[in-house]
Chain A
Amino acid sequence: MKPFDYVRADSPRSAVAAGGARARFIAGGTNLIDLMKLEVEAPERLVDISRLDLGGIGPAEGGGLRIGALASNADVAAAHAVRRDYPALARALLSGASGQIRNKATTGGNLLQRTRCPYFTDTSQPCNKRRPGKGCAAIGGHTRNHAILGATSHCIATHPSDMAVALRALDASVEIEGADGSRRRMTVGELYRLPGDAPDRDTTLEAGELITAVILPPPPAGAAQSYRKVRDRASYAFALVSLACVAKMEDGRIDQVALAFGGIAPVPWRDGAAEEALRGENPGPEVFEHAADILLADAERQGDNAFKIPLVRRLLKAELARATGTGDQR
């Protein structure tokens, strides 16, 4: 680990003032400390935000739920309002990490965790996400867990968060405090960026910006929510493919639907066209297949992960069948 300065912030304002391109905010530290030990991350300064008053889970202005950036993953998953109104989020959180990590990991930190691509964490290997311009050792390497959508010739890593996938399906936003004290909001969809030719930047946050809360809109009334995660081991394993599904039926037709996928792209993945193809339709295998065709039209295998393409299709069909009451209800 490289030496660093340590600053304890006493307000969000002082935190962003102390932040910057060479600094990192630290709260739970469950990902950052590991990366610092490996020297994948070598910040010059750590700004400790763990004592800020950014916890708490409560009603948001104008309806919905506000989750403080420092609320732990365990607390969010256990919160009554989350379990009642946003079960997909509770399930996504509980499917991730381990009990110990969820106790420590925060909401903001979960959103900003880095990829688990083994080449990203192995500093003896070239990685454009770690050192832009060095090349990508994953391409042509061991790619079982890599992306089938949204990858580029610079980076094929996936985003590891389960929570972010559920938030994306639930149309959540993040509240951000800027370096100049300004505040803004953007959707979780807008928060993440595709690697393009700058895979070192996972998000659209500017240097020094601090996530202060996640805002969930009022729960979609009458919609079925689910989160299903397919992985190599039943706990403490990242998703090969996961799906957060929010679907509402009206007179036997699909009225609303949101499908967010994890494990298949550099960001929690949603495809508006695939969802559009489902809206207003009578649910059934052909309709689901058609949506999967749209979703996977540009899917590309990376070496070892060809299995992900049919797996996404099956997961989509199975979860939609369940959500619309047209298939196996187990």
Chain B
Amino acid sequence: MNTPNTYIGGHVERVEDARFLRGAGRYIDDVTREGMLHACVVRSAVAHGRLVSIDAEEALAMPGVHAVLTAADVTGEIPTIPFRRPNPKIGPYAQPVIARERVRYFGEPVALVLADSPELAEDAAELVLPEIEPLPAVVTRDAALAAEPLLFPGTTEDNLAAVFTAGKGDAEAAFAGAALVVGDSFSTQRQTALPLETRGLLAEWDADAQHLTVHGAAKLPFFNRRAMAKMMDLPETSVDYVEHDVGGGFGARGEFYPEDFLVALAARITGRPVKWVEDRREHFAAIAHSREAEAQVELALDASGRILGLRGEMFMNVGAYVRPNGMTPVRNCAQFMSGPYRVPNIALQATAYVANKTPAGTFRGPGRYEGSFFIERLLDMAAARLGLDRRTIRQVNLLTNAEMPYPLAQIRPSDGSRAETSCDSGEYSEAFHRCLQAFDWEEKEKLDGRLIDGRYHGIAVSCFIEGGASGPAETARIQVAGDGGVEVYVGSSAIGQGLETVMAQIAADTLGLPMECIRIYHGSTTYLAEGWGSYGSRATVMGGNAVREAALALLARFRALAARRLGVGEAEVSVVGGQAVGPDGAVLDLADLAAEGLAGEAKFLNSDATYTNGTAAVHVAVDPETGRVEVLDYVVCDEVGRIVNALTLHGQVTGAAVQGFGSVFGEELPYDDDGALLVGTLADYLVPLATDYPRVRCLSLESYPSPTNPLGAKGAGEGGIIPVGGAVANAVASALRAFGVAPNHLPLSPARVWALLNPPD
């Protein structure tokens, strides 16, 4: 696939790193404006209640406090935050940008204080006293399903935001004819993505121009601009979202949150720039949570281990409101639970219920991580019952390239183009074999289930697919500056994933120029008339192909302009290495024609998803006295269609794996019975630290380019996290086989593992 001397496919170091490592990154809190006010959000300390009144008198009396905004300052109806994937049922559950009569979660915004400094704003916020009559909080699934009480009385008849089905074939018949049915209950715990940089915004209102600028964009600035324009009753072109450096997104950052509107409203009302930067404690209650899922699922198999069918129910606690992509993990879990396997008959139902907790959204591998955990556990249970090797049961079910495109289950109600989707390409056993070879399964298997130096060793293997591309479109524009430098404007966003490097590689190779000539401008609505952003593993596929097409358009224009300048036909001009050469040897540089409008623009269209496939293998050691699980080795091999940059790819996969260990072992957002969030600091929320960082190895293959795009790339990077729950849980089960434990509930904290070994009498 790689041609010599190309950037694409090389181990190209990130161009961003020089800036980041020298402390020269510019994040939202580094952006300041003359005369700006600082905002602090007053949040409900009650999970569920009637908002009776808000007494801001004392706060307003503080010198340096300029205003306290509440729902009363919003004219007309309180706007609600739009959905990324609307469906008929979720409408009433949209989140209002500020609470008016009722609060529904601990941390819900009820007022905004504006003051001369962030410290003053925070002190004043302490003095704003919302009077809230508490109502019983809905925290558990049982309470939510029993509708005791309703979160939206008078508007909805239950607490069910949506019920999706994922269907294919005839599951009932498949189960009726099965040699074996295995089933069980599983759950994954509520957690959050935890970007290193907390959220922040700075809004500026230009009253003369009637123009709003919002700094602090990430992920999808164009969607948010559209949402903001509608809420503010402004033309879309009167709103800009500007992206600065972003310290991590992982699906949670960059969605439209209540603060987007409130900070903009404050700027519009006061006429002054308004800045808001979250602290970590606030972040835990404000940013989207994810992963709180339960499942009761069954797999039907024949005697040789071939999967005949999959059925069951899933329940996701989506918090108090449906946020823009609150349904993504729910529908994904149902649609992608079948993973990389040939599952001809599927009947899954996924219910999203609301409860008095922070609203949920996406987090790296949304729904896929949960679904992968469920099916991988079932496969190991089935292998044990059938007396099959755990590798064999996967091998016989992995998809082959001859079956492509292979349709996955259909989602109903339909929520857009991906309600029906198919795997695009790949011989899935290839990554499987390469992974096990690198892992040295045969050698490690000798340790499986054995007690060595006081710890039980276990290994496991887990396979996955990762959806990518996330169409329908992405845009790019390339223009040549007067000095011959090439400016590339992309609709994609940079959330710390190395976008500037990858886009520069693609532009440089297509244009035949050194990367150093290329400058990437991204993520702001000021650069392009329309764009999409970075989510769902789409930037390389959608943005990368848009850059490629824009570069090709630029070269065509270059050729045309050169031919005109040289007075020859276009066919007589050869374009190589940023130079146009005429038939007589006359040479023109890009810079020579810059003044004539040397630019190229493209909108890359593709609504088909890409599917990276892969396999992870893990080796763990379990201390039976403390329940502590140590990961000794983790190998991931993925087939990504085309590797653009092995370093950024492996960096993402490794990071995802380590983030996954946090999901599996420690990270949890517990609530008490009254709906109070019990985590406020990083001492309570156990993310992996350097001491929890095991050996992680990544391998990537590019054997089956995706037919969906000219680059052949498939969205990748989440491969480290999707299979981690199933892999680790199966390895723990294998290590502790002598005890017959079933680690079906995450996290596998020391206490949980210990309790599996020491069941209460």
Residues of A in contact with B (beta carbons under 8 Å apart):
1-2, 34, 38-39, 116, 118, 121-122, 124-125, 137, 140-142, 144, 230, 232-238, 240, 306-307, 310-311, 314, 318, 328, 330
Contact = CB atoms under 8 A, between A and B. Distances in A.
Given A122-B680, A141-B672, A233 B666 contact: yes
Main secondary structure of the interface of A (DSSP, over half): loop
A116 B680 CA distance: 11
Contact of B751 (A137, A141, A240, A318): A240
A142 B751 contact: no
B303 interface: no
A330 B453 contact: yes
A2 B126 CA distance: 10
B690 A230 contact: no
B670 interface: yes
Interface residues of B, number: 36
B690 A235 contact: yes
Interface of B: 45, 119, 122-123, 126, 281, 453-454, 625-626, 665-666, 670, 672-673, 676, 678-684, 686, 688-692, 749-751, 754-755, 758, 760
Contacts of A311: 626, 754
A144 B684 CA distance: 12
A116 B679 CA distance: 11
4 cross-chain pairs, A with B, having the tightest CB-CB distances, nearest first: A124-B45, A234-B691, A235-B691, A233-B686
Nearest to A235: B691
Contact of A121 (B680, B691, B692): B680
B454 A1 contact: no
* Chain B interface, DSSP helix/strand/loop, else mixed: loop
Nearest to B758: A310
B676 A125 contact: yes
B758 A233 contact: no
Nearest to B693: A234
Contacts of B626: 230, 311, 314
A100 B692 CA distance: 18
B751 A118 contact: no
27 contacts: A1-B119, A34-B681, A118-B679, A118-B680, A118-B684, A121-B680, A122-B676, A122-B678, A141-B672, A141-B673, A232-B666, A232-B686, A233-B666, A233-B686, A233-B691, A234-B689, A234-B692, A235-B690, A237-B686, A240-B750, A306-B760, A307-B755, A314-B625, A314-B626, A318-B625, A330-B453, A330-B454
A236 B689 contact: yes
Contacts of B625: 314, 318
Contacts of B749: 232
Contacts of B123: 1-2
A142 B672 contact: yes
Contacts of A233: 665-666, 686, 688-689, 691-692
Contacts of A1: 119, 122-123
Given A122-B676, A122-B680, A142-B672, 18 more contacts: A1-B122, A1-B123, A39-B126, A121-B680, A140-B673, A142-B678, A232-B666, A232-B749, A233-B666, A233-B686, A234-B692, A235-B691, A236-B683, A310-B758, A311-B626, A314-B625, A318-B625, A330-B453
Given A118-B678, A230-B626, A311-B626, A328 B454 contact: yes
A140 B678 CA distance: 13
Contacts of A240: 750-751
A289 B749 CA distance: 27
A226 B80 CA distance: 59
Contacts, number: 73
B556 to A, nearest CB: 56
Contacts of B119: 1
A278 to B, nearest CB: 21
A326 B146 CA distance: 57
B452 to A, nearest CB: 11
Given A232-B750, A233-B666, A314-B625, A238 B683 contact: yes
A113 to B, nearest CB: 12
Nearest to A314: B625
Nearest to A124: B45
A41 to B, nearest CB: 14
Contacts of B760: 306
A251 to B, nearest CB: 29
A232 B679 CA distance: 15
B689 A144 contact: no
Contacts of B678: 118, 122, 141-142
Contacts of B680: 118, 121-122
A122 B284 CA distance: 13
A125 B688 CA distance: 29
Contacts of B665: 233
Contacts of B682: 236
A6 to B, nearest CB: 15
Contact of A237 (B281, B676, B683): B683
B672 A307 contact: no
Contacts of B676: 122, 124-125, 137
Contacts of B672: 137, 141-142
A233 B680 CA distance: 17
Nearest to B679: A118
A307 B126 contact: no
Nearest to B686: A233
Nearest to B662: A233
Contacts of B454: 328, 330
Contacts of A306: 760
A240 B454 CA distance: 21
Contacts of A237: 683, 686
A235 B751 contact: no
Q: Which of B672, B673, B760 has the most CB of A within 10 A?
A: B672
Nearest to A145: B684
A93 to B, nearest CB: 16
Contacts of A118: 678-680, 684
B674 to A, nearest CB: 8
Contacts of B684: 116, 118
Nearest to A160: B683
Most chain B beta carbons < 10 A, residue from A137, A236, A306, A330: A236
Contacts of A310: 758
Given A121-B680, A310-B758, A144 B686 contact: no
- Most chain B Cβ neighbours within 10 Å, of A34, A234, A310, A318: A234
A118 B625 CA distance: 27
